[in-house]
Amino acid sequence: MRKNIALIFAILFALQAMPQGAWTKKKDFNSGRTGTVTFSTTTKGYVSAGYDDNNTYNDLWEYDPQNDTWTQKADFGGSSRAGAVGFSIGNKGYIGTGEDLNGYTKDFWEYDPFSNKWVQRANFPGAARTDAIGFSIGNRGYLGTGVDSDTAYKDFWEFDPVKNLWFKKADFKANRWSAIGFSVDTKGYLGCGFNKSGMSETWYSDLWEFDPNSNKWTWKNNFPLGTMAGGRAFAIGFRAYIGIGSANSSNYKDFWEYDPQSNKWSQQTDFPGQGAEYGFAAFSIGNKGYFGLGFTESNCNYIYYNEMWEFDPLGIVGLKERLSEATLLLYPNPASDQITVRVENQDKENLSVMIYDASGKLTLFVHPGLASGDIAVNTSSLTRGTYILKVKVGSTILSERLVIAD
């Protein structure tokens, strides 16, 4: 009996030590390129801009994971460019900065997927630049670091889409570009990257957490592989996934999960795609991540890739319980007096809607019973802030971040 118990624990330990997650090849993007910019909503991913040997682009493409299809949308409102920053706030996407054929840029644009239109917003107030990082926390966007022809930057800015204003925040810890940036729950994260001054090069492996409430940066555990620049990151739930990139003459295919709650890294299954070195596209939709594009150099020739891969962090059957295929849609988001909740790919069952504040307190409960289609929820009693909306459908629980604006 003791031998059997020991064997069981040995097997479980071995399974836990294995790299996690599974990759699945998806439909290729329309063309090979690098230097793209991405953002995503609750159900779609978006890829824009970038370049290859012959063209610099300003087209916008929408990825639908349900049908595994790419659809061209309205061209980006700004100039064709590469190295821009993208993020989403609620159901809208934002793109700005980067480098076009005339130099470095600082214009900033908002995309509405429902109307398929771009609207120019207030220009980024820092210096024009490329290869910065951006992410969103609640109903605010954040942009910082980056480089122009002479200077690497460490300034950091907050964008309020309601007021259409930028606010200066605490500088990052060191000047750099080609860093990684992502947000999980109510915090943002920035790290790794590269800087060069004359003949001196500095590669970074650090990771820092930004708290918008205190406007402070806190050092976290370093990226476990060491220094890296040009990597990409996306968040799924309350964890982030980081990898690829390069350091000096080494190119990575490693992929890692970062858990902010435990401040620990765990290795995931290596990226199985082609040998791209730099300029990847990455975004997440629901409980999956998407990774692809980029370029590599071979015998002084550049090779541009158009492949796209899907990453499922729960992809190894038997190690973790798989999430439901049901999809939660929530709009508008940010909202004010009312939201619409829709659960797709789910049979008609008893449904409950629960909204929790940042402290975890239940602030609103709606139980429409057997429900299908759109469900209107009155949110006029909620004050401005970020909430977690959970929907229980039968035995399935789905969750989504809800922002209540003015």
Q: What is the pLDDT of residue 323?
A: 40
Q: Cα dihedral sign for 237, 238, 239, 240?
A: positive
Q: What local confidence, expressed as pLDDT, does residue 183 receive?
A: 95
Q: Which pLDDT score is estimated for 322?
A: 37
- List, in order, residues 6 or more apart from 244 with CB less than 8 Å away: 230, 231, 232, 252, 253, 254, 255, 271, 276, 280, 291, 294
CB 85 within 8 A of CB 132: yes
317: tokens are: 């059957």
- Tens of pLDDT, residue by residue over 170-220, are 999 999 999 999 999 899 999 999 998 777 889 999 999 999 999 999 999
CATH 2.120.10.80 occupies which residues in the chain?
2-312
Q: What is the pLDDT of residue 314?
A: 77
The answer on pLDDT for 134 being more than 80 is yes
- The average pLDDT across 317-344 equals 69
Determine the Cα–Cα distance for residues 46 and 127; give it in Å rounded to an integer. Answer: 26
Cα 124 to Cα 85, 104, 128, 144, 165, distances in angstroms = 11, 12, 8, 10, 9
CATH number of 327-404: 2.60.40.3080
Please give the angle made by the CA atoms of 47, 50 and 55, to the nearest 5 degrees.
130
pLDDT of 3 over the 60 cut: no
Strand, helix or coil for residue 141: strand
CA distance 316 to 319: 6
Helix (H) or strand (E) holding 89, with range, is strand 85-89
Give the count of beta carbons closer than 10 Å to the beta carbon of residue 244. Answer: 24
What's the predicted TM-score (pTM) here? 0.76
Mean pLDDT of 330-346: 81
Residues 6+ apart with CB under 8 A from 53: 302, 304
pLDDT digits (tens, 9 = 90+) for 4-27: 444 444 444 444 444 578 899 999
Task: Give, in words, the CATH class of 2-312.
Answer: mainly beta
**Residue 276 in this model has a pLDDT that exceeds 80:** no
- Report which of residues 252 and 38 the model is more confident about: 38
Six-digit token string for 194: 């590269």
Q: For position 145, what pLDDT does the model report?
A: 98
Delimit the CATH 2.60.40.3080 region(s) of the chain.
327-404
What are the residues facing 153 on neighbouring strands?
Answer: 176
C-alpha count within 13 angstroms, C-beta hemisphere, residue 62: 19
Residues 143 and 127: beta-carbon distance below 8 Å: no
| pLDDT at residue 115 tops 50 | yes
Give the residue carrying structure tokens 């500095």: 202
Considering only CA atoms, which of 396, 398, 397, 402 is closest in space to residue 379? Answer: 402
Helix (H, G, I), strand (E, B), or coil: what is residue 8?
Answer: helix
